[in-house]
Structure 1
């Protein structure tokens, strides 16, 4: 979890690869209307996000019911969004970072529908996980490999 550009997809894919778990990119689960809205530079509302969160939660539930491990990315910016995704065995990995660093990362990537102009709205919306939420936090200020190493260590999987 984390704002767009934090590196969550890169780290999540690396975690999944190292563990041999299935990986899913939550952004690919957005309905086209959400993608179009973000591409146009319009922040999503809660009403836009609920159906998408339900799809991501369905992916999580499917893996839990099948007894298979997986890693899925999702901004999960608010506690109320994480409540939709929460289940026994689910641990949120918050990839947190400095706004200037994240903006620089967003500016250098190509082919993503989320424009840099929406970063400030994501940062304003972000409610970092609280101690009563199953989570670990890594700081997006190192190489993806180092961040992945830390995630695996914090989760007791490395």
Structure 2
């Protein structure tokens, strides 16, 4: 099976940590969606300005291209709305598995405050939660970010195994 996996959720939920660990377990590359943003998007976020849909469409298309051209691959991407996930699916050239890392605002804000060197300020977290349309079980596997990293990876691997068994 050619894996096209998107680890999704609001900023600070653990997409990079989970994606990198999952990639190591599966032996496939992880690409951080933060690195796929155009410079203008990064500048906006760094300035504390939330992205608009118009800002996001080219980025989501880039994410879809990475999934299409780089498969098997895991990409960390907020994919906050169903329309964004549909856009990614439409351009990915095959099935895409979404894993939603969900958690309380307090836990995620604390994680964001503790990280260094990232352009996304904690002040934008509320706009991320306001934009989020949590996926239903028909769209994604949803996991609680309060679980340990190894447990999150094990749950994703079990889900993958269950689908391919």
Please report the TM-score for the alignment, with normalisation by the length of structure 2. Answer: 0.88
Q: Quick check: 1:10 aligned with 2:13?
A: no
Task: Assess if the C-alpha contact under 8 Å between 1:136 and 1:155 holds in 2.
Answer: no
Q: Which runs of 5+ in 1 are unaligned?
A: none
**1:21-60 maps to which residues of 2 (within 5 A)?**
21-60=28-67
Q: Deviations over 1:89-130 (max 9, x none)?
A: 211000011110000000000001100000000001000112
Deviation (angstroms), 1:149: 1.4
Q: Deviations over 1:32-87 (max 9, x none)?
A: 11001000000000000001011111111113xxxx41101100000000011115
CA distance in 2, matches of 1:155, 1:9: 19
Task: Assess if the C-alpha contact under 8 Å between 1:103 and 1:119 holds in 2.
Answer: yes
Q: Quick check: 1:132 aligned with 2:138?
A: yes
| Backbone CA RMSD of aligned residues | 1.2
Task: Assess if the C-alpha contact under 8 Å between 1:77 and 1:128 holds in 2.
Answer: yes
Deviation (angstroms), 1:142: 2.0
**1:20-99 maps to which residues of 2 (within 5 A)?**
20-63=27-70, 68-86=71-89, 87=92, 88-99=94-105
Q: Quick check: 1:116 aligned with 2:119?
A: no
Please report the TM-score for the alignment, with normalisation by the length of structure 1. Answer: 0.92
Match of 2:146 among 133, 137, 141: 141
Q: Quick check: 1:106 aligned with 2:112?
A: yes
**Stretches (4+) displaced over 2 A:** 130-133
CA distance in 2, matches of 1:77, 1:148: 21
CA distance in 2, matches of 1:99, 1:28: 24
